[in-house]
Chains A and B, each alone.
Chain A
Amino acid sequence: MNFEFTEEQLMIRDAARDFAQRELLPGVIERDEKSEYPTEQVKRLADLGFLGMLVGLEYDGGGMDTISYVLAMEEISKVDSSVSVIMSVNNSLVCWGVEKYGTEEQKQKFLKPMARGEKIGAFLLSEPEAGSDATSQRTTAVDMGDHYLVNGTKNWITNGKTASTYIVMAQTHPELKHKGINALLVDSKSEGITVGPHENKMGMRASDTCSVMFNNVKVPKENRLGEEGFGFKLAMQSLEGGRIGIASQALGIASGAYELALKYAQERKAFGKEIIHHQAIAFKLADMAVEIEAARFFCLKAAWLKDQGKPYGQASAMAKLYAAETAMKVTTEAVQIHGGYGYVKEYHVERLMRDAKLTQIYEGTSEIQKIVISRGLMD
């Protein structure tokens, strides 16, 4: 067993750290407060190659391994999760599926621009009445011979407004239940698509989240990903990888809050000494450090399994569950260590606490992760 990172992995981590500290930190509070999409920051994310870092070099991606992805996601999420979620969705949920199951034409047309970050992708699975129960898709894709006719509404879509390419899950054969679902590559500017207003969220407020409505949208047959009825399987497989991204994001939120709390505890004095010398605070920090380290191991283990071509669904569910729960606990304690200062925006930890909550909900709630894990135990 080797716990050493390679020189390249360290270089990627450092590049992500430099980018986050230098280019994301300035203005992060204001972007959150105004729910302002980080247009310039996402452009830089593309320039540096983070948006397509997992895609192979032959399709204009970075050709990086998943370990590097975990390291980069952690560093970026320490500072701005609204940016890291854009990176996670584009890499893990959109580019991954097209690279793995797309035809050569689909890769040339859709994958390359997304890997370069010139275009952004979105993954449209959730619906008003199909969240955790993703099998109950109401959006339909009726087979019209040379094209599908798509109708329905998708909810909570990250990059919904800014994406150029959607992967849309829609039901073609309701009688086959989840085996009748197709995954379709859809140009977001297609006639019949309406994008809903920006959701006024509790956290990750600068990322673009909205609903997307489809009204008789024509999608060419050649835009279907994989075989007929493969959509649900593709969605579940994409989410297995996506969970590594969100777990790493949660890890970053936790470690970002921990670093701020540690620094504050070393500087803030109470009762004649720095508060880190009070056991009540020191033990909190010790607990935070241990849980973050454990979450990091979960994330890296899942990433390593994926890189080795081994099954990683169980590991990614464990990583997502543990890292998200850790993010919530650690950020809450970071606010507590900051006292009153933690409750105001200037000190960042309240924002990290709000962001942490979402990691327990999206890309499979903590409860859904427990279903995945417990079913895995029975296999």
Chain B
Amino acid sequence: MKILVCISNVPDTTTKVKFKEDNTLFDDSGVQWIINPWDELALTRALELKEDAGNSVDEVCVIHVGGAQTDATLRKALAIGADKAFRIDACAADAYYVAGQIASYLKENPFDIVFSGIESSDYNGSSVGAMIAEFMDYSGVSSVTSVNLDGDDVILYRAIPGGKQKIKTGVPLVAVVQKGIAKEPRIPAMRGIMMARKKPLEVIAATEMEMLTKSIKFELPKAKGACKMIDLENVEELVKLLKNEAKVL
């Protein structure tokens, strides 16, 4: 069995977000890039499945659509334990485009299970995984919080309002995973970091396809107002402010 984990290269979650060129572009100067946290958890779970001797997982690979500047992120995935990395050499700005590129790779190089994080922490599109399943005509399960293998079957739990749902399915499969899929992302070991440079990072030419959406403009949320302290006894003043200033009553 082979597992492919989709990796998104996102700004560190503590990044101070700024825009440039009249708020039409994200200003990436000085930004530190990381593996999208949900994808990192997916990779961790995929490696756990491979390491479990009871499973027959032969290979865990990662795939990403992006330019050469994202190679460091892919090498971190290799340091964490992925066997191979594939980078589709294109600027990714649209979920349809990214899913289409990954699907076109999958058509030539099939995998049994594809993991995709539920969203990327930058644009939060939440679309790529489902689109890959659609492009490939694979089973697609969203909001997955647990994945286990039972022979050739895959046992998944997914979060639903008020509880969880247990699903059994065969492969090929796209599992769109969320928090809970692994306890915490794996820290690369020193030996893994040294071995990463010897593992294959294959750059693949993008296939011709259009982007369906275009980003027009970005806006930052309004700065939070100052906190007003109201005397414990002064309920009348609190109601007045909630009504007239905050306008929530």
Contacts and interface: CB of A to CB of B under 8 A. Distances in A.
Question: Is the pairing of A and B real?
Answer: yes
Interface of A: 7-8, 10-12, 15, 18-19, 22, 47-50, 53, 57, 62-64
B193 A15 contact: yes
B187 interface: yes
* Interface range for B: 10 to 19
Contacts of A15: 187-190, 193
Could you tell me the dominant secondary structure of chain B's interface residues?
helix
A63 B194 contact: yes
A19 B196 CA distance: 19
Nearest to A53: B190
Given A12-B190, A62-B193, A64-B194, 4 more contacts: A7-B72, A8-B194, A15-B189, A22-B187
Contacts of A8: 193-194, 196-197
A50 B75 contact: no
B237 interface: no
8 contacts: A11-B76, A11-B193, A15-B189, A48-B187, A57-B194, A62-B190, A64-B190, A64-B194
B187 A49 contact: no
Nearest to A10: B72
B106 to A, nearest CB: 28
Nearest to B185: A18
Contact of B189 (A10, A22, A49): A49
A11 B189 CA distance: 10
Contact of B187 (A7, A10, A19): A19
Nearest to A17: B187
Instruction: Count chain A CB atoms within 10 A of each CB in B75, B187, B190, B191 and give the residue with the most.
Output: B190
A341 B55 CA distance: 52
B55 to A, nearest CB: 22
Instruction: Count chain B CB atoms within 10 A of each CB in A8, A47, A53 and give the residue with the most.
Output: A8
B79 A11 contact: yes
B76 A48 contact: no
Contact of A48 (B75, B184, B189): B189
Nearest to A72: B190
B190 A49 contact: yes
Interface in B185-226: 187-191, 193-194, 196-197
B48 to A, nearest CB: 15
Nearest to A7: B72
B226 to A, nearest CB: 12
B75 A62 contact: no
B198 to A, nearest CB: 11
Given A7-B72, A7-B75, A12 B193 contact: yes
B218 to A, nearest CB: 26
A273 to B, nearest CB: 12
Instruction: Count chain A CB atoms within 10 A of each CB in B72, B187, B193, B194 and give the residue with the most.
Output: B193
Given A7-B72, A62-B194, A18 B187 contact: yes
A11 B187 contact: no
A63 B193 CA distance: 10
Given A8-B197, A22-B184, A49 B76 contact: no
Contacts of B194: 8, 57, 62-64
B197 A62 contact: no
A326 to B, nearest CB: 26
B75 A49 contact: no
Nearest to A47: B189
A62 B76 CA distance: 16
Contacts of B79: 11
Contacts of A7: 72, 75
A18 B79 CA distance: 14
B191 to A, nearest CB: 5
A49 B195 CA distance: 13
Contacts of A18: 187
A64 B184 CA distance: 26
Instruction: Count chain A CB atoms within 10 A of each CB in B75, B189, B197 and give the residue with the most.
Output: B189
A47 B191 CA distance: 10
A16 to B, nearest CB: 9
Contacts of A53: 190
A95 to B, nearest CB: 13
A38 B75 CA distance: 31
Contacts of B197: 8
A210 B18 CA distance: 54
B72 A62 contact: no
Given A11-B79, A22-B184, A48 B72 contact: no
A49 B184 CA distance: 19
Contacts of B187: 15, 18-19, 22, 48
